[in-house]
Amino acid sequence: MKMQYENHIYYLDVAKIMVVFLVVFCHSYGHKTDFSTYIYSFHMPFFFVVGGIFHKYNGHVQFKKYYKQLIIPAFFYIILAVLVKFILNIIGGSDYYLSLKIDIYSIIASTWKSRGLPNVECWFLFAYFWSKVLFDIIKKINNLVFIIFIIGTSIIIIYYLRLPLFIGQGIMGLPLYLFGHHMSSYYKEHLNKSFKVILIPLLVLWLFLVNTNGRVSMYGINFGGFYDGLNVLVFYITALLGTHIIFILSSLYNKHHVFIYEINKSLIGILGGQRIWIIIMTFLFNYSNNGHIIESLFGSLLIILLCHYGYWVQKKYIPWSTGYR
């Protein structure tokens, strides 16, 4: 058992749990509330940074591997959400046929619109897939000037045009992914040695920039409301500041905890399955994303637990739906 956890970075497990809770809480309590502006500034960028920290380049583009790990689970959760809504609409006496037609159309339309999925949170799995693929391509090219030119040009393109298949969101996350990979040794080895006194200055600067730039959205490819062009820079700085603040806070509890470790292994199930449980809880208990904050806090915890145990059922009986073979 000790060998299993040897050299494991415990505080990053804590950080991922903190942020995935904030993700589910925003979707449970209301993503249009004022405080969600602060959470949106870093909660999805955080996962791209973490992805870069742990990325292992094997000398080639691992398209097939990433497809199995991310795209297949994404379609599984999308189809499952459609089926769950269809069944609940039949039970509830709603127009299930019209709802099914809308969901099927949404799946087809989302391939070129990059939005409107029946299980909307699955956008991240598609975008994360593209970031990983693009990262491998960049590592294979290994020409800094060309890479900077391509990334800069790509960001200009997605600033004005919406690309299909959530490629734009993947491009938006790529600089964060690259940053995480470049800083991986620091986050793996040296963060606990850094002075915690920088937390307060970072927090003040982060709050100032969030208030300056306003609401952002990786799903909507919205870099914020600051001056055109500069908002892109402010978006990335704010995202990295928020991510680093989470890392510092989580490093205060740099200990092994079995449950935290196990929850981390089901993050794809939580990110992909949360919408399904929100649909079910809304049907059964009139659970609302405009409800009371205490209700949403406990509801978010319950959703995370349900997704976690559901993921392990999937892994045992239908492993292909989790990205495992």
Mean pLDDT across the chain: 90
pTM recorded for the entire structure: 0.94
pLDDT in tens, 105-141: 999 988 888 888 999 999 999 999 999 999 999 999 9
Which of 324, 49, 297 has the alpha carbon at shortest distance from 180? Answer: 49
C-alpha span between 70 and 73 (Å, rounded): 5
pLDDT in tens, 139-185: 999 888 888 898 999 999 999 998 999 999 999 999 999 999 999 98
**What are the structure tokens assigned to 99, written together?**
């709802």
Which of 71, 15, 47, 19 has the alpha carbon at shortest distance from 251? Answer: 15
Residues 6+ apart with CB under 8 A from 184: 52, 53, 54, 55
How many CB atoms lie under 10 A from the CB of residue 5? 11
Amino acid at 31: H
Q: Among all chains, which residue has been given the structure tokens 């970075």?
A: 9
Helices (H), ranges, the chain: 2-5, 10-29, 36-40, 43-54, 63-66, 72-92, 96-113, 123-141, 144-160, 167-182, 184-185, 199-213, 230-251, 258-264, 267-285, 293-317
C-alpha span between 115 and 107 (Å, rounded): 9
| Domain boundaries, position 161 | 2-322
Say which DSSP state 106 is in: H
C-alpha span between 138 and 182 (Å, rounded): 13
C-alpha span between 214 and 224 (Å, rounded): 6
C-alpha span between 254 and 10 (Å, rounded): 5
Amino acid at 325: R
C-alpha span between 135 and 170 (Å, rounded): 10
C-alpha span between 58 and 206 (Å, rounded): 36
Count of structural domains within the chain: 1
pLDDT tens over the chain, length 325 residues = 444 555 678 999 999 999 999 999 998 876 667 788 999 999 999 999 999 999 999 999 999 999 999 999 999 999 999 999 999 999 998 888 888 999 999 999 888 888 889 999 999 999 999 999 999 999 999 888 888 898 999 999 999 998 999 999 999 999 999 999 999 988 877 665 555 678 899 999 999 999 999 999 999 999 999 998 899 999 999 999 999 999 999 988 888 889 999 999 999 999 999 999 999 999 998 876 666 788 888 999 999 999 999 999 999 999 999 987 6
Q: Among all chains, which residue has been given the structure tokens 């000790």?
A: 2
How many CB atoms lie under 10 A from the CB of residue 98? 10
Query: Bridge partners of 217?
Result: 222
How many CB atoms lie under 10 A from the CB of residue 58? 9
Residues 6+ apart with CB under 8 A from 139: 57
